[in-house]
Each structure stands twice: as structure tokens, then as C-alpha cells.
Amino acid sequence: MLKLFSFTALAVFFLIAAFSAVSAIAADDAMPNLDDIGVKREMKKDKPVDPKAWDKKQATEPGNKDESKPADKTTGAQPDNKDKKDKKAEKKVKSKPTMKPEEITQTISQIKMIYIKGGCFKMGDFTGAGDDDERPAHDVCVSPYYMAESVVTEKLWLAIMGTPSKEKYEPDKPVVAISWQWTKLFLEKLNKASKKRYRLPTEAEWEYVAREGGKNIRWSGTDDDSSIGDYAWFSDNSNSEIHPVKQKKPNTLGFYDMTGNVWQWTEDKFDLDYYQTSPKKDPIGPDVSIWRTIRGGSAYEGVNKIRTTYRHGLEPAMFRPDLGIRLAE
């Protein structure tokens, strides 16, 4: 009898085990294949969870105490990081340079324009050693006009635009990092504020002044390469820095920094072959071009690129850390 019971129990055990195995196989067949539906772990783009970040997240969830912040010793309250951020933002706003209306008026009134009675000269390469786009030297006559004795400063830019052109505000340095398009907006605002008609000089007007009325001088103020440093900031003496305006000698017409320190936008479009077809009377550049002309070189350039006849073209939407503007009228 005991043997029969043992045999019966053993049979029941095997039946139960077999049923469980069949059920497991059926269940496994019913489960989708993860590889088939494209959710392989290595295919996921999510980054693995950072335990520290997760703990911090949990601590800041509603109802959870943020243990990452030191509690106030007197009240046990947790400090509010939002207040700290607000204070930092407030401090940042306060540090932004601003001008009062009377300061703006005074800054505008300090613009000094020099009258140029106009005249005729041979524009372009007079040495025979210049670049192809500086040739041929050709007759050009410019009508009377005014030009600013120095380039526009950051102070004047701030007065008109309400914000510096770059993060570090240095009022006596030339404004830089401005596109030709931003320059046109600046002129529009300046003219509205001053009731004047300021503009950019043409390329011919710029060169006429740089060459002191059309003289055959390679650098504004001198044709002696040993004395360039008296008139210009360039790669040999600038320490690769833009310097405040009017720190060097002016040329004989009274203009500062016509050579070096910062490049200067002109009104003209740029064409490498323009001198071959340039009109004689008040040329204003080609009708069609994707570039605008810049002149003068900068504190980053060598003696070749700061020559009075050197030309360069730049897209009007572009800007450089050594490119500024000079006013004409």
C-alpha cells in the first residue's frame, strides 16, 4: 500500500512538472522578440543614469528634502537657489554699461569732423609692387567732404546703440566686431539722434585722406618704413592688441589711425578688377558684388597690409575682431 502511494505521488509530481514546462514555453512564444522590434540596449541613445544626478533629482522632488543644500542653522530651512540665481542675474544686469541722456548728447557732440576740400590724384599702386587689384593707378577726383579724425569708439557706439559691441567694454578703443549691416543701422540711429547726415567714406575718399591729399606715401603719415611705428599700430608693435584711438601721430591732414589698429569699412562694393573701369569723378565702386571694401589694415597685420593702397573685400554680414568704422559726411 505504501509503495502504491509513493508511485502515485511520483506520477503526480511528473505531471505537474510537465504542465509547468509546457506553460512556460507557451508564455515565451507569446512574448515579443526585443531584437525584432528594435529596442536593443546598445541601440538606445539615452545616456546611462548618473546615480549622483538621480539622487539629486530625487532629493528635489516635491515632498523630498534636498540633502545637498546646507540647512539654515537657526531655522532649519533650506536656502533657495533661485534667490541666488536671481541675485546673480541682477548683478549681471547692473554691470552692463549704460549712459544717461545728457551723456549721450555730450558724446555725440564730441565727434570731430575735418573738412577736405577735395582734389584729384592717381589712385592705386604708385610703386609697381602692389597687388593686381591695386592696378592700374588711375586718375580720380573727389568732391569736398568731411571725414572723422578718428574711428568710431566703443563709447559712441554705446551711446547710439545702447549696448556694447562686445563683452568687455573699453570706451576709448575703436568699436570692432561689427558687420557692414550693423554699421548701417548705427548710422541710421546716429543721424536721427544728431540731425546730421553721417555715412561711410567711399574707397576713393578714404585713400585720398590716407595719402594726405594724394601723396605717394605707402603708409599714412610716412613713406619711411623705419618710422611706421610713429603713426600706426601693427604686428611689430601692437602686441596683437587693439589700442585706444589717437595714441599715435596723426597724418599731416590731422587724421589718426588711418594706417593700422583697425580695418575700416567703406561704402563701396568690392571688385578685384574695378580699377580697370573706374570712372574719374567720385567713383563709388562696382554696381554688383557680394563684398564690401575694407581699408587700412589692423594691429594684427604686417607692413604690407597696412599700406595706403592695399584693398580687401569682405561680405557685409561678416565681422572681425579688428574691423571698425570711420565716419564721413
pLDDT recorded at residue 167: 85
pLDDT recorded at residue 74: 41
Model confidence band, residue 89 (pLDDT cutoffs 50, 70, 90):
low
- Could you tell me which residues are beta bridge partners of residue 263? 323
pLDDT recorded at residue 97: 87
pLDDT recorded at residue 82: 54
Backbone phi and psi for residue 60, each to the nearest 5 degrees, phi listed first: -100, 0
Cα 228 → chain centroid: 29
187 pLDDT exceeds 80? Answer: yes
314 pLDDT exceeds 80? Answer: yes
Instruction: Tell me which residue of 271, 251, 256, 278 sits closest to 142, measured CA to CA.
Output: 278
In the chain, domain spans: 95-324
Which of the 8 DSSP states describes residue 5? H
What sign results for the dihedral spanned by CA atoms 209, 212, 213, 219?
negative
Summarize pLDDT for 197-231 with one digit per residue, the tens: 999 999 999 999 999 999 999 999 999 999 999 99
Reduce the secondary structure of 184-207 to three states and give it as a string. HHHHHHHHHHHCCCCECCCHHHHH
More confident residue, 52 or 164: 164
As given in the structure block, the three cell numbers for residue 172 are 576709448
Residue with cell 512574448: 31
More confident residue, 279 or 84: 279
Question: What is the chain's mean pLDDT, rounded?
Answer: 81
- Could you tell me which residues are beta bridge partners of residue 294? 265, 312
274 pLDDT exceeds 80? Answer: yes
CA-to-CA dists, residue 41 to 49, 112, 155, angstroms = 14, 70, 58
More confident residue, 63 or 152: 152
The CATH homologous superfamily to which domain 95-324 belongs is: paralog of FGE (formylglycine-generating enzyme) (3.90.1580.10)
Give me the half-sphere count of Cα atoms (radius 13 Å) on the Cβ side of residue 56. Answer: 7
190 pLDDT exceeds 80? Answer: yes
Our separate counts of H helices and E strands in the chain read 7, 8
Summarize pLDDT for 8-37 with one digit per residue, the tens: 444 444 444 444 444 444 444 433 333 333
